[in-house]
């Protein structure tokens, strides 16, 4: 029996359970499908497609060295399976489980219906510590521990004849434009593929992790202090389990005097736990991509959409230099650190009073490491619509003074502000016109804030907290805590008898800093 391995967001051979299982049952046909309907989503971007194509191309080369191929198919998956079953009757389908967006969820449901109709066995395996049909969050931590404590699976030891050929000749992969995507991609984004992912992992574990504690909040230090593993984890070039194991090994081999580096690795382990905690939310409630977690907040912002505010945010012309610099960096690199992401969402949600869904779709296209479960959970949490999290309202002027006190970050990404003296840098709109002219600033160099920051933020918080105080809103909170709230948070524990020592997880903020 031929085993069809369907690669989705898992572009690796190492620690790939579906591939291992398929190789044990018969000749393996490895495929990845570029499905036009999925790329029409409002969260899809050219940089996502390019990263996937780079990762798939490298994986294809790895399989070719073993006598196989990764066949790049174009079309909707049920139609491709229909074509396959005519040529290869009786095949079995293997893949990882995926907690994706609403479109991929609907696609998986369509594939499940097709498999049932055609008596095709579809064997799915968890890729993360995320549990399908989870009944109670109280048990989730045990599932996560069990997942990461399992040994990593080696690359299957195939013989040449262990691969099945694709029974037709597939044309070259489509271009991004063929899929209806905007051709723009950040010129300084990270490149896909396992080889680069492993290189980033090693540089973090061996060197950069010493900067992690204390370095991940400022946009100046974060590009090197953060692990930068997020896109390689999001697209499965590396497995969560191998990252956890590698981190524990490095932690345990470090000498006791390497205090800062050990603290950094412990904090990183904590964030890996939160990675799956947030994805579990979307797995348990797919609707949170497009509906408020707490239905009592329905209507809070929907009727007040201001297109001018949204357009200024997207253009990096809000007038608040730290916000606009982050938008430009994101446009150029496809990445900013978590604190700055939270600040962008906070500014959008409070002083600009924008609904999280449209802002979230825009940011999903900007983030190379877009992971739907994390993204939509964080969008709602930062916008105050979960009903169980304390709203975090970030003041962009204070963030600039705290994390870019000398203006190096702002001046790097906003060249027009290089002429502005330090005293005016974080509130340049307050400069008198004659002083602007003195420093050579032209009309339009300095964007005017769309609203009074203090007044607009105060009004937004008042509206939010007035709703939050309603008895019916408060009454619905306990059910959300039961379904989505975190339980005791710990770093993964080694199995009994293991000599490994596990770092204790610090009491850190809810958030993700990869």
pLDDT at 139 over 90: no
Euclidean distance between CA atoms 113 and 32, whole angstroms: 20
pLDDT at 87 over 90: yes
Per-residue confidence (pLDDT) for residue 136, from 0 to 100: 81
Euclidean distance between CA atoms 52 and 50, whole angstroms: 5
Token digits for 221? 């230090």
When pLDDT is cut at 50, 70 and 90, the band that residue 501 belongs to is very low
State how far Cα 15 lies from the chain centre. Answer: 21
Euclidean distance between CA atoms 334 and 248, whole angstroms: 29
Q: Residue 123's beta-bridge partner residues?
A: 94
Per-residue confidence (pLDDT) for residue 484, from 0 to 100: 82
Question: Which range is least confidently modeled, 15-19, 46-50, 388-392, 418-422?
Answer: 388-392
When pLDDT is cut at 50, 70 and 90, the band that residue 495 belongs to is very low
pLDDT at 506 over 80: no
Q: What is the mean pLDDT of residues 176-187?
A: 95
Per-residue confidence (pLDDT) for residue 26, from 0 to 100: 87
Q: What is the mean pLDDT of residues 41-67?
A: 97
Distances (CA, A) of 115 to 34, 90, 93, 120: 19, 11, 9, 5
pLDDT at 500 over 70: no
Q: What is the mean pLDDT of residues 200-211?
A: 97
When pLDDT is cut at 50, 70 and 90, the band that residue 476 belongs to is confident
Starting from the edge strand earliest in sequence, which strands make up the sheet with 122-125, in order? Answer: 70-74, 28-34, 3-7, 92-96, 122-125
pLDDT at 509 over 60: no
| Mean pLDDT for the chain overall | 92
Crossing angle of helices 477-484/259-284, nearest 10°? 120
When pLDDT is cut at 50, 70 and 90, the band that residue 502 belongs to is very low
Euclidean distance between CA atoms 447 and 429, whole angstroms: 7
Q: What is the mean pLDDT of residues 447-465?
A: 96
Q: Residue 95's beta-bridge partner residues?
A: 124
Q: What is the mean pLDDT of residues 265-270?
A: 96
Note the pLDDT tens digit of each residue in 313-364.
Answer: 999 999 999 999 999 999 999 999 999 999 999 999 999 999 999 999 999 9
User: Contact 346/392 with Cβ under 8 angstroms?
Assistant: yes
Q: Is 236 left (phi over 0), alpha (psi -120 to 50) or beta?
A: left
Q: What is the mean pLDDT of residues 455-481?
A: 89
310 Cβ contact partners less than 8 Å away, ≥ 6 residues apart? 348, 352, 354, 358, 359, 362
Domain with CATH 3.40.50.620 in the chain: 3-125
Name the CA dihedral angle for 27, 30, 33, 34, rounded to a multiple of 10 degrees. -150
pLDDT at 511 over 70: no
Domain with CATH 1.25.40.80 in the chain: 133-154+193-285+496-509
pLDDT at 496 over 60: no
136 Cβ contact partners less than 8 Å away, ≥ 6 residues apart? 482
State how far Cα 214 lies from the chain centre. Answer: 22
Domain 133-154+193-285+496-509 has CATH 1.20.1440.20: no
Fold classification of 295-475 (topology level): DNA Cyclobutane Dipyrimidine Photolyase, subunit A; domain 3 (1.10.579)
Name the architecture of domain 3-125.
3-Layer(aba) Sandwich (3.40)
């Amino acid at each position: 029996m031929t085993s069809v391995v369907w690669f989705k967001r898992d572009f690796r051979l190492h620690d790939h359970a579906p591939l291992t299982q398929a190789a044990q049952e018969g000749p393996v046909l490895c495929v990845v499908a570029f499905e036009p309907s999925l790329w029409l989503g409002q969260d899809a971007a050219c940089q996502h497609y390019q990263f996937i194509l780079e990762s798939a191309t490298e994986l294809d080369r790895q399989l070719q060295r073993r006598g196989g191929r990764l066949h790049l198919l174009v079309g909707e998956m049920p139609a491709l399976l229909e074509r396959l079953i005519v040529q290869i009757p009786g095949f079995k389908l293997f893949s990882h489980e995926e907690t994706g967006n609403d479109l991929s969820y609907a696609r998986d449901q369509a594939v499940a219906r097709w498999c049932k109709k055609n008596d095709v066995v579809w064997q799915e395996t968890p890729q993360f510590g995320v549990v399908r049909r989870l009944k109670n969050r109280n048990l989730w931590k045990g599932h996560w521990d069990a997942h990461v404590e399992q040994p990593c699976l080696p690359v299957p030891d195939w013989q040449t004849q262990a691969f099945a050929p694709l029974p037709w000749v597939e044309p070259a992969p489509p271009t991004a434009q063929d899929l209806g995507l905007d051709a723009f991609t950040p010129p300084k984004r990270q490149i896909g593929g396992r080889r680069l992912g492993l290189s980033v992992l090693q540089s973090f574990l061996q060197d950069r992790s010493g900067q992690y504690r204390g370095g991940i909040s400022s946009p100046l230090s974060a590009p090197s202090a953060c692990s930068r593993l997020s896109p390689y984890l999001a697209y499965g070039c590396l497995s969560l389990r191998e990252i956890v194991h590698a981190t524990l090994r490095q932690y345990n081999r470090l000498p006791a005097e390497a205090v800062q580096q050990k603290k950094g690795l412990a904090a990183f382990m904590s964030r890996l736990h939160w990675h799956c905690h947030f994805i579990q939310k979307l797995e348990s409630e797919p609707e949170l991509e497009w509906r408020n977690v707490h239905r009592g907040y329905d209507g809070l912002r929907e009727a007040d959409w201001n297109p001018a505010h949204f357009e200024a945010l997207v253009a990096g012309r809000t007038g608040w230099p730290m916000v606009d610099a982050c938008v430009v960096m994101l446009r150029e690199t496809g990445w900013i650190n978590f604190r700055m992401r939270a600040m962008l969402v906070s500014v959008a949600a409070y002083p600009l009073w924008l609904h999280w869904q449209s802002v979230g779709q825009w940011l999903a296209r900007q983030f190379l490491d877009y992971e739907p479960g994390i993204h939509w959970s964080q969008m709602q949490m930062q916008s105050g619509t979960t009903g169980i999290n304390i709203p975090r309202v970030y003041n962009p002027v204070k963030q600039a003074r705290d994390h870019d006190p000398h203006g190096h970050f702002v001046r790097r990404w906003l060249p027009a502000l290089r002429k502005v003296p330090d005293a005016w840098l974080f509130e340049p709109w307050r400069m008198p016109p004659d002083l602007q002219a003195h420093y050579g600033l032209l009309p339009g160099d300095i964007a005017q804030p769309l609203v009074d920051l203090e007044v607009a933020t105060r009004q937004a918080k008042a509206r939010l907290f007035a709703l939050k105080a309603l008895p019916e809103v408060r009454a619905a909170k306990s059910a959300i805590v039961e379904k989505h709230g975190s339980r005791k948070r710990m770093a993964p524990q080694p199995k009994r008898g293991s000599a490994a020592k596990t770092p204790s997880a610090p009491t850190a903020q809810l958030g993700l800093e990869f």
